[in-house]
Structure 1
């Protein structure tokens, strides 16, 4: 058999927000793991439970995307390395892969002064994706939204995240919303999502505070401990910190955090989540939770947690996991909301449990189905 015939089929990953910190870490991280420069730490799909799921190899992934900024990926990677997000020397080691992905990034929108209407924007975005698939001879492509959080829409018309989501389906591509933004959740897109014959997943990747809540909430319920109040604070910088300084965007982000508690505890406790933009933190974040609960005989007790992490390093492996799982789901003919991927999201589509352990069990069963050809 010739080398061209034996080469594994290639799969595209089209990133909305392709020059952001998460997308840059996705591209650099995939290249580093593929080359054996770094272990696949944080990649759920590289664990034994997924070995027989028929997922596309990391080496088969080809990256492109949309963005409204023009900072090249190699330069962005250098900034991330300077901030401690990427290991020293990694941007230089994977410079060719970063440059290749950067050449596949197309201008997003709408930008100030853009006179195109919604239909024209969707058509243009879809054409970019289709051109990417055609030029690279890809078997399929998955569109993943990793752009900064946008405010919930308040008026008529589709927000940018929904324009990109509509373009993904127009291009015949599965769609993943890793952000709290509206995406396919806009009511005007419901018929398109239902009739498109494509799998989709989302929304809002679960990387830190909510991940911990989805573990601790069930613990209190299962041990019959009464939670009286649960308050939290997030300190973060970077693009997400700036975008979440907008109260409307923060409200969209917090909705998923609060829903996890209501679902796992059976009712919503007192308390709120506050998000503070601290530009000096860059791509790092700190999440603090204060939990007041009652024990036996009404004894009042407190649990406090502190989560300090790098948002891009937490998110990037999950984006790769999702791209591989959704591509395989598409290959096996699955369509509609993939509730089995709730493990990755704060606000998952479809009907799914809220406790992390139950979500993981669902995910492993899903991997078995994919291995059997669904």
Structure 2
């Protein structure tokens, strides 16, 4: 696994989680690929995963894990147990970019990132590498911008290195028009945009319910309070807009039209790695009766995301091994903005199970 944003909270939690579950120190809670329907799919074992990645930060991964433990995100005993794996992953992290003052062209950056990924694959002797973007959200690129956004540079490097690619962030990544031909001809599987971990997960369940019961949703509003790196990144209005696009897609796809209301995102540094999301749904029932549904979701974002990142990497690796060389709409279960198919969670789960069966048949 080559993680973009390899020293962030999600990446750190992913490494610790993989090590502790593989060692049998904790149950695989949240890992869908560890449930019975995936037993015959031929997915790579958690114990076989090797980690590296790109990041612009230079904070050592073991220290990052200790900081997350101090905040209550990770149990101290798991950080201690995973120290060797954290140190090994840290040795495989390379400088990302572009950083302030970086004068390299897009081609020079892409070539450098590609070389890092190819070197990792060659030196570690792994069968294949999956590139997973778990970096902070970036604003959508301006129309006609001369430069590719960083997420697309990393995606281009993944394609050039012949690696499966997963975009767990709302950033543009492989969906930039400049990468369309490379994605078509690279001969690798790729999937998704923006992991579905909390508020939108609930929306993907609730919105189809209203439509199926013929209840008219008049307005759907939401508020997110979050701290940490995500809170700081999403304080930027352009980055928040990129994030909200996926949240809105679920409602529009499920309800047939986007109802009134907006999602507001507030940076609250005191919350650290935790987030709270409120939704207020105004709907109309029989004889014009006006009713309201309100939900509250509170959780630790990295602990919600990490098992999904492991699921996606294992599924993408197996798809690559099975010779699948295109986008993977079957993995829409994990995304706010999937590559196609329904936005309803139950239908997405059914598609995922069919994909698991397809992988099993390809063994």
Partner of 1:359: 348
Pick one of 22, 36, 46 that aligns with 1:34.
22
Partner of 1:269: 259
Q: Given the alignment of the two structures, is residue 320 of structure 1 paired with residue 310 of structure 2, yes or no?
A: yes
Aligned residue for 1:228, secondary structure, equals strand
> What does residue range 106-125 of structure 1 map to in structure 2 within 5 Å?
106-125=94-113
Q: Give the Cα–Cα distance (whole angstroms) in 1 for the partners of residues 101 and 202 of structure 2.
A: 43
TM-score w.r.t. length of structure 2: 0.99
The structural deviation recorded for 1:195 is 1.1
Pick one of 131, 147, 153 that aligns with 1:143.
131
Pick one of 243, 250, 257 that aligns with 1:253.
243
The structural deviation recorded for 1:88 is 2.5
Q: Give the Cα–Cα distance (whole angstroms) in 2 for the partners of residues 354 and 111 of structure 1.
A: 36
Partner of 1:133: 121
Pick one of 166, 171, 177 that aligns with 1:176.
166
The structural deviation recorded for 1:296 is 1.1
Partner of 1:343: 333
Q: Give the Cα–Cα distance (whole angstroms) in 2 for the partners of residues 266 and 114 of structure 1.
A: 45
Pick one of 67, 90, 102 that aligns with 2:78.
90
CA-atom RMSD, angstroms? 0.7
Pick one of 51, 61, 75 that aligns with 1:63.
51
Q: Given the alignment of the two structures, is residue 80 of structure 1 paired with residue 77 of structure 2, yes or no?
A: no
Aligned residues: 361
Runs of 4+ in 1 over 4 A off after TM superposition: none
Give unpaired runs (5+ residues) of structure 1.
Answer: 1-12
Pick one of 180, 185, 194 that aligns with 2:175.
185
Give unpaired runs (5+ residues) of structure 2.
Answer: none
Q: Give the Cα–Cα distance (whole angstroms) in 2 for the partners of residues 324 and 207 of structure 1.
A: 18
Pick one of 144, 150, 165 that aligns with 1:160.
150
Q: Give the Cα–Cα distance (whole angstroms) in 2 for the partners of residues 214 and 105 of structure 1.
A: 35
Aligned residue for 1:367, secondary structure, equals helix
Q: Give the Cα–Cα distance (whole angstroms) in 2 for the partners of residues 145 and 246 of structure 1.
A: 19
TM-score w.r.t. length of structure 1: 0.96
Partner of 1:243: 233
